[in-house]
């Protein structure tokens, strides 16, 4: 090998060109961040965004995304993590200690409940489920040990829209920290911080990415002390995201409001049409009066994401409902939502909402960016195939 071949390939003198400007953000990828000298290394504080310390603690690309998500949510600080579920786990880990209790809405994102039931329980943190529509009963559940309340609007799968104002007011009176899973609202449908919610989490995997090709989560706060606790835990747990993933989300963010509205419009059209179908007992879409909590949605929002569920009449067999989902051609069968492709998933209602008042066979639809008329024709042929 030629002498110095390796050196020449590794020691390139590269500085981003100072005269270069473009609307799009550069993708910076690094584990190592170089310091000018030892004094600069010693002087650098990893907690400060004034400089860079190590790739895990941020690059210009991830700092930019953090700032944009903080602006989207109306917060001041944001931390990025590798998934929406990791964002929930970070909040739990940072804010809870053995002996504490957390309260989760009965319609909470399933894996958040599983996290509480398994990992948190092992560390001596207990949880109870509350009815998100009943703020009075919720208020009575808040006790000495309650240290964190999770909120979700609308709830996963069963779509009830909670009495957010009532729940937050009750938690505030007891000085209990409130955290919202804002994946459905995407920072657009309502202003969580204006409601005095303290921690706002989002699965950037969903609307902010919009492509169905990135997994990422965010934890946004306004309060400096709360952010400091979350930031320390983020560091201790070794959480961080990749530059290419951050860039993919940055690229999708400008079209977020347009996409959100498009998903919403098509979803509402289909939800309303399904309400008139004889096979359907109930449509669960927060913007429809048939959805529990509709009045809370109406008091807070005009927009409504692209997500809804349908309860097929109890007289049908589960096999028929499965046949309906299998017969859909434009809808993929798969988890997640807010990507370009429409998706459908049958859920076991009893497992999703134990003891709840809803009856029937539930199918959750995530409406993508296809033409409404084509999706409706697809649903129509699948209904015919399965139920006649
Ligand atoms: C998808 C989702 C999450 C988790 O996001 P991942 O990135 O898939 O881990 C959390 N909360 C809600 C409401 C979600 O829909």
Residue the block writes with tokens 């309400």: 275
Residue 229 is inside which H or E element, if any? helix 224-236
Residue 203 sits in a domain whose CATH number is 3.40.640.10
For residue 213, count CB atoms less than 10 angstroms from its CB and return exposed for 0-12, middle for 13-18, buried for 19 or more: exposed
Atom of ligand 1 minimally distant from the CA of 204: 7
Look at residue 368 in the predicted model and tell me its pLDDT: 97
Look at residue 10 in the predicted model and tell me its pLDDT: 77
3-state SS record for 45-65: CCCCCCCCCEHHHCCHHHHHH
Look at residue 287 in the predicted model and tell me its pLDDT: 98
Atom of ligand 1 minimally distant from the CA of 206: 1
Look at residue 350 in the predicted model and tell me its pLDDT: 84
- Number of other CB atoms surrounding residue 217 within 10 Å: 28
**Ligand 1 center–CA 183 separation, angstroms:** 7
Question: Are residue 225 and residue 83 in the same domain, yes or no?
Answer: yes
Residues with CB under 6 A from ligand 1: 83-85, 109, 156, 181, 183, 203, 205-206, 215, 217, 336
Q: Spell out, as residue ranges, where the chain has pLDDT lower than 70.
A: none
Question: Are residue 171 and residue 299 in the same domain, yes or no?
Answer: no
Atom of ligand 1 minimally distant from the CA of 203: 5
Question: Are residue 222 and residue 337 in the same domain, yes or no?
Answer: no
For residues 242 and 279, is the Cβ–Cβ distance under 8 A? no
Question: Are residue 261 and residue 316 in the same domain, yes or no?
Answer: yes
Enter the DSSP assignment of 370.
S
Q: Is residue 6 a part of any domain in this protein?
A: no
Query: Of the candidates 189, 191, 200, which has an alpha carbon nearest to the alpha carbon of residue 165?
Result: 191
Question: Are residue 214 and residue 84 in the same domain, yes or no?
Answer: yes
β-sheet with 146-152: strand ranges across: 77-81, 217-221, 199-203, 177-181, 146-152, 101-105, 126-130
Domains of the chain: total: 2
- Name every residue whose Cβ is closer than 8 Å to that of residue 208 and which is 6 or more positions away in sequence: 69, 72, 186, 202, 216, 218, 249, 252, 253, 256
Task: State which residues form the domain around 181.
Answer: 74-231
Ligand 1 pocket test target in 69, 85, 207 with most atoms within 8 Å of CB: 85
Q: Could you give the CA distance from residue 202 to residue 161 in angstroms, rounded to a whole number?
A: 17
Both structure tokens of 291: 């959805």
Question: Are residue 90 and residue 150 in the same domain, yes or no?
Answer: yes
Q: Is residue 50 a part of any domain in this protein?
A: no
Question: Are residue 146 and residue 287 in the same domain, yes or no?
Answer: no
Q: Is residue 65 a part of any domain in this protein?
A: no
Question: Are residue 285 and residue 380 in the same domain, yes or no?
Answer: yes
Look at residue 46 in the predicted model and tell me its pLDDT: 85
3-state SS record for 259-297: HHHHHHHHHHHHHHHHHCCCCEEEEECCCCCCCCCHHHH
Look at residue 115 in the predicted model and tell me its pLDDT: 98
- Name every residue whose Cβ is closer than 8 Å to that of residue 205 and which is 6 or more positions away in sequence: 83, 84, 214, 215, 216, 217, 336
Look at residue 204 in the predicted model and tell me its pLDDT: 98
Sign of CA dihedral 44, 47, 51, 52: positive
Q: Is residue 21 a part of any domain in this protein?
A: no
Q: What is the pTM of this model?
A: 0.96
Q: Is residue 328 a part of any domain in this protein?
A: yes
pLDDT in tens, 326-369: 999 999 999 999 999 999 999 998 888 877 788 999 999 999 99
Look at residue 8 in the predicted model and tell me its pLDDT: 74
Ligand 1 pocket test target in 179, 205, 248 with most atoms within 8 Å of CB: 205
């Amino acid at each position: 090998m030629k002498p110095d071949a390796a050196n020449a390939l590794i020691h390139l003198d590269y500085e981003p060109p100072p005269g270069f400007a473009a609307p799009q953000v550069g993708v910076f990828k690094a584990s190592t961040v170089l310091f000018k000298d030892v004094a600069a290394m010693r002087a650098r504080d990893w907690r400060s965004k004034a400089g860079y310390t190590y790739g895990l603690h941020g690059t210009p690309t991830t700092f930019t995304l953090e700032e944009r998500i903080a602006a989207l949510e109306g917060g001041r600080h944001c931390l990025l993590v590798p998934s929406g579920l990791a964002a929930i786990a970070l909040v739990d880990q940072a804010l809870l200690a053995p002996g504490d209790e957390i309260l989760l809405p009965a319609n909470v994102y399933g894996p958040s409940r599983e996290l509480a039931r398994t990992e948190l329980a092992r560390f001596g943190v207990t949880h109870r489920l509350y009815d998100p529509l009943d703020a009075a009963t919720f208020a009575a559940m808040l006790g000495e040990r309650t240290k964190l309340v999770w909120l979700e609007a609308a709830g996963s799968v069963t779509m009830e829209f909670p009495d957010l104002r009532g729940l937050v007011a009750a938690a505030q009176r007891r000085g209990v920290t409130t955290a919202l899973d804002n994946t459905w609202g995407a920072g657009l449908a309502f202003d969580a911080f204006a409601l005095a919610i303290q921690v706002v989490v989002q699965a950037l995997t969903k609307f902010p990415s919009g492509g169905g090709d990135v997994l990422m989560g965010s934890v946004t706060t306004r309060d400096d002390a709360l952010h400091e606790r979350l930031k320390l835990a983020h560091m201790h747990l070794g959480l961080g995201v990749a530059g290419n993933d951050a860039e993919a989300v940055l690229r999708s963010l400008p079209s977020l409001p347009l996409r959100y509205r498009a998903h919403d419009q098509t979803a509402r059209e289909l939800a309303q049409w399904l309400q008139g179908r004889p096979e359907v007992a109930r449509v669960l879409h927060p913007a429809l009066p048939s959805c529990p909590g509709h009045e809370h949605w109406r008091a807070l929002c005009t927009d409504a994401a692209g997500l809804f569920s349908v309860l097929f009449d109890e007289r049908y067999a589960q096999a028929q409902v499965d046949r309906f989902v299998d017969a859909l051609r434009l809808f993929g069968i798969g988890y997640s939502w807010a990507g370009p492709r429409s998706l459908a998933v049958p859920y076991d209602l009893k497992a999703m909402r134990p003891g709840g008042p809803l009856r029937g066979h539930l199918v959750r639809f995530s409406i993508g960016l296809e033409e409404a008329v084509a999706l409706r024709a697809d649903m129509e042929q699948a209904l015919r195939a399965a139920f006649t």
